[in-house]
Structure 1
Amino acid sequence: MAKVQSLNISREKGVKKTPVDSVELITDFGIKDDAHAGKWHRQVSLLATESIQKMKDKGLNVDSGDFAENITTEGADLLSLAVGDTVMVGGVELTISQLGKLCHHRCAVYYAAGDCVMPREGIFGVVRNDGKVKVGDEFTITRKEGLSVCVITLSDKGSKGERVDETGPAVAKMLNDRLKVCFTRNEVMADEQKELEDALKYMCDLQKFDLVVTNGSTGVSPRDIAPDATLNVIERRLPGFEEAMRMKSFEKTNRALISRAVVGVRGKTLIINVPGSPKGAVENLDVVVDAIPHCIEKLQGSQADCAQ
């Protein structure tokens, strides 16, 4: 039986979390009075007691909450979860939004043991409805229905907060309207090729998103790097997608000829480059959106007949 073994919160970041008997969860925000709650994709963190035991076996005197997790679980196979899966606990639905984490600063646990389990085995989720969770509550896991999607906006100004990203939300809305999407993650980055290559590898290899859509940086300006980064990480190219998008855009403007947008696959993830304007991005996706689910199904091993 999977259940909540401990609940832990802290009012400030960077301090040890305190065990509590119950917590109040707020839709699309997180746990009330916890410093890590907010309008982002890591609203609630989970870690299994089985993972903590691995650190105890290394000789560390650690317990629930010492890894800054909000919910410590017992009897649940958290390591089998995928982005988009659902955890239901105490009547509250959490959609898994991130697997593990990148630690930019080593914690006390790492320095004591030379290792830390949270970056590999911690799980994060977003809150779908208000509710209260208590220690001892049982929880269930439901596998995802639909596609997990990551939308990456490439904008030097946007990454500095000097411009509001309108294209990322437009892309996300279009995909949610036209496809069955279980979770969407939005990121804004500068036009830096190495950073984008690293992000694409991370989203495909570690987070295992079904679909990654980049917008912007597809032309011939010195800072236009999306196609170059994409070509460096994909394993197979899908020129049919690219040709269809450019051909349709060319019906409206000859500037479509300047686009170097690339579409390809890495592992079991489909990567699509689209233009940086909201209108252009949506128009490009409109051409190929109906082919996306079947493409991903085949990419992930479906044996279904391709014939209509």
Structure 2
Amino acid sequence: MTSPHVLAVSRDTTHRFSKVPEPSIHLIAGIGVLGDAHAGTLVQHRYAARKDPNQPNLRQVHLIGAELFDEARERGFEVGPGDLGENVTTAGIDLISLPTGTLLDLGGPVVRLTGLRNPCVLINRFSPGLLKVVLARADGTPLGRAVPDEPRDDRPAPQVIRKAGVMSVVERGGEVVPGAAITVTLPDGPHVAMEPV
């Protein structure tokens, strides 16, 4: 396996599904990506902000492993950096298996993982059928529709595998560039698996 590194960086000033690849992005501690629509101390995700605009922004920086793009390509989908709305595309690291609170040093700037991205129907609007690549039942069976991240009525939330990346907050700011080595620092135990945020 290749050493963990930043493959690409992206941002967008407006709330569109995809982000634009850039030569570099600048992270600001406690805020997010300079010039990105999701930057801020309070939640910027449109759906979450409608529910409660005063909750903290746990989605300042979105990261996706490029290995997901390979999996999508094998299943007939063409996806590249920024297409799924991520700010940082990584390689050589299994992001979704890391515990909550993991620190990722992105070549100087540091982010702390807060949770999983919960894939939504917008993924299928971007590329019909792609949701089956990023969302599966715990046994690996692909799901073609979004699922709630909380129980509804008396039914428990289904156990699913979410592969659409992870969310984080910026602990130390600075410039992130493609090719930067990623250093992983796990939190003190016991480790807690990430949940959707």
Query: Please, what TM-score do these two structures have when normalized by structure 1?
Result: 0.46
Aligned match of 2:39 in 26, 32, 37? Answer: 37
SS at match of 1:128: strand
Matching of residue 82 in structure 1 with residue 138 in structure 2: no
Q: Which residue of 2 aligns with 1:62?
A: 79
Stretches (4+) displaced over 4 A: none
Q: RCO (CA 8 Å, sep 6+): is it higher in 1 or 2? A: 2
SS at match of 2:112: strand
Aligned match of 1:17 in 16, 19, 24? Answer: 19
Q: Which residue of 2 aligns with 1:120?
A: 162
- Cα offsets for 1:118-148 (capped at 9, x unmatched): 8812111100122111111001111112678
Once structures 1 and 2 are overlaid, which stretch shifts more, 96-105 or 130-139?
96-105
Within 5 Å, which residues of 2 pair with 1:1-308? 1-39=3-41, 40-103=57-120, 105-109=122-126, 111-113=128-130, 115-117=132-134, 120-121=162-163, 122-145=165-188, 207=195
Are the counterparts in 2 of residues 109 and 115 from structure 1 also a CA contact under 8 Å?
A: no
Could you say if the C-alpha distance between residues 94 and 79 of structure 1 is closer, same or farther in structure 2, counting changes exceeding 3 Å?
Answer: same
Residue 72 of structure 2 aligns to which amino acid in structure 1?
M
Residue 120 of structure 1 aligns to which amino acid in structure 2?
R
Q: How many angstroms does 1:58 deviate by?
A: 1.0
Are the counterparts in 1 of residues 119 and 131 from structure 2 also a CA contact under 8 Å?
A: no
- Cα offsets for 1:236-258 (capped at 9, x unmatched): xxxxxxxxxxxxxxxxxxxxxxx
Q: Which runs of 5+ in 1 are unaligned?
A: 149-203, 209-308
- Cα offsets for 1:134-165 (capped at 9, x unmatched): 111001111112678xxxxxxxxxxxxxxxxx
- Cα offsets for 1:155-214 (capped at 9, x unmatched): xxxxxxxxxxxxxxxxxxxxxxxxxxxxxxxxxxxxxxxxxxxxxxxxx98629xxxxxx
Q: How many angstroms does 1:112 deviate by?
A: 4.0
Once structures 1 and 2 are overlaid, which stretch shifts more, 97-106 or 132-141?
97-106
Are the counterparts in 1 of residues 98 and 193 from structure 2 also a CA contact under 8 Å?
A: no
Are the counterparts in 2 of residues 10 and 17 from structure 1 also a CA contact under 8 Å?
A: yes
Are the counterparts in 2 of residues 95 and 128 from structure 1 also a CA contact under 8 Å?
A: yes
Could you say if the C-alpha distance between residues 87 and 105 of structure 1 is closer, same or farther in structure 2, counting changes exceeding 3 Å?
Answer: same
Are the counterparts in 2 of residues 99 and 206 from structure 1 also a CA contact under 8 Å?
A: yes
Residue 92 of structure 2 aligns to which amino acid in structure 1?
G
Compute the RMSD of aligned alpha carbons: 2.5
| Count of residue pairs brought into register by the alignment | 153
SS at match of 1:62: coil
Q: Distance in 2 between matches of 1:123 and 1:114?
A: 16
SS at match of 2:100: coil
Are the counterparts in 2 of residues 46 and 123 from structure 1 also a CA contact under 8 Å?
A: yes
Select the structure that is richer in helix.
1
Aligned-residue identity in percent: 30
Highest CA radius of gyration, 1 or 2?
A: 1
Q: Distance in 1 between matches of 2:32 and 2:193?
A: 27
Q: How many angstroms does 1:109 deviate by?
A: 4.0
Query: Please, what TM-score do these two structures have when normalized by structure 2?
Result: 0.69
Q: How many angstroms does 1:25 deviate by?
A: 0.4
Could you say if the C-alpha distance between residues 16 and 99 of structure 1 is closer, same or farther in structure 2, counting changes exceeding 3 Å?
Answer: closer
Are the counterparts in 2 of residues 55 and 62 from structure 1 also a CA contact under 8 Å?
A: yes
Q: Which runs of 5+ in 2 are unaligned?
A: 42-56, 136-160
